[in-house]
Amino acid sequence: MNTISNTEEKPHSCEVCGSSFKSKQGLAMHMRSHTEKKPYSCTHTGKNTSSCEICASFAWKPNMMEHIKKHTSEKTYFCEVCDSSFTRKANLAVHMRRHTEEKPHSCEVCGRSFTNKPSLVLHMRTHTGEKPYSCEVCSRAFTNKPSLLSHMRTHTGEKPYSCDVCTRSFTHKQHMLEHMRTHTGEKPYSCEVCGFSFIRKQDLVIHMRIHTGEKPHSCEICGRSFTRKPDLKSHMRTHTGEKPYSCEVCGSSFTHRKTMVQHRRTHTGERPYACEVCGSSFKRKPELIIHIRTHTGEKPYSCEVCGVSFIRKQTLVIHMQRHIKGENLNAY
């Protein structure tokens, strides 16, 4: 059998990178990738102007034609499964993988697969640590451009996503969608163990640690572990002595925001936790819970020595000390 060599198949070679092409025209088009020559320009007419405004240029005419569809809203490629439509055939092909669950792009490090190559490229940065997009204000770096753009809003204060119900605004679209569930009551993430449901997937992930006992966030000083990163951060203040939350009335400082909020009530007299049985109100929720037991008769803290039960844990501790000292406990 006679074979045709690669050079005979593609006689036209690029002097820059060595790529070969079947036709002279193919080589000429390829050379634009080196010269950045883009002879095809978009001449879409803006709505508020009588002149043509050039918004982009392209090296290849097919790319320009597909780009123009963005202006005309023309979508010529349709999904037969869900009726989604696309301006480019390649985008339809990638979309179809959602239905077929095809993931042809695999990570050589961990084996995880993806439906498209850009997703694989972004994933690889989790292994390489590459963060090519940097904030010009604080120098913080990100693996992808959308994350950088979202971060920039923390500097500009921009909140482009608004809730239609209460007009609250958000820097991220995902945060707005999660917020909307507080109005609709939707909780799409459910625990398979106990049935609890959550608004956010991350809340379910953290909740599952109650069942698994997983505590992935450890203190480097004392070794204590926590299910949530914020809990570790708060714990670290017990070592550093940091008290970032201050009372505006008396200047007292606190390691935790919750403690500071509770402290403020000593100034305002606010008692937001009310008993539904007798109307008594309390500054702290734990105080209300203990009070409710006076109505229900619940005594969850029991002495292992004599079996006496108590409403409060602290009362049990005092009781146990009397056992240790050998005091007369007939009063109980």
> What is the distance between the alpha carbons of residues 167 and 163, in angstroms, rounded to a whole number?
5
Share of the chain above pLDDT 70, in %: 83
> In angstroms, what CA-CA distances link 318 with 4, 287, 298, 322, 327?
95, 19, 19, 7, 12
The more confident residue out of 100 and 187 is 187
Lookup: tokens for 234: 């708060």
Residue 63 to residue 40: CA distance in whole angstroms: 9
pLDDT confidence tier of residue 169, bands split at 50, 70 and 90: very high
- The pLDDT tens digits of the residues spanning 192-236 come to 999 999 999 999 999 999 999 999 999 999 999 999 999 999 999
Token pair for residue 143? 């693996």
Averaged pLDDT score across all residues of the chain: 83
CB 218 within 8 A of CB 225: yes
Q: How far apart are CA 227 and CA 216, in angstroms?
A: 6
Q: How far apart are CA 2 and CA 63, in angstroms?
A: 38
d(CA 253, CA 250): 9
Q: Compute the C-alpha angle 285/291/294, nearest 5°.
A: 155
Decide if pLDDT at 5 tops 50.
no
Which pLDDT band, with edges at 50, 70 and 90, does 50 fall under? very low
CB 199 within 8 A of CB 186: yes
Owner of token pair 């009781």: 319
Task: Please state the rounded mean pLDDT for residues 62-76.
Answer: 61
Q: How many CB atoms lie within 10 A of CB 319?
A: 20
pLDDT computed for residue 65 by the predictor: 60
Mean pLDDT of 2-24: 69
Confidence (pLDDT) at 12 = 83
Q: Of 280, 278, 281, 289, which Cα lies nearest the Cα of 313?
A: 289
End-to-end CA distance of the chain: 104
pLDDT for res 66: 61
Q: How far is CA 75 from CA 45, 68, 92, 161, in A?
A: 19, 11, 10, 27
Report pTM.
Answer: 0.47
Please say if the pLDDT value at position 109 is more than 50: yes
Q: Considering only 9-23, 33-47, 146-160, which range has the smallest mean pLDDT?
A: 33-47
Residue 3 has pLDDT above 60, yes or no: no
Burial class (CB in 10 A: 0-12, 13-18, 19+), 17: exposed
The answer to whether residue 53 scores a pLDDT higher than 60 is no
> How large a percentage of the chain has pLDDT more than 90?
48
Residue 312 confidence (pLDDT): 92
Q: What is the pLDDT of residue 86?
A: 80
Is residue 39 pLDDT above 70, yes or no? no
3-class DSSP assignment, residue 330: coil
Domain 273-325: top CATH class: alpha beta
Q: What is the pLDDT of residues 256-310, one digit of tens each?
A: 888 999 999 999 999 999 999 999 999 888 999 999 999 999 999 999 999 999 9
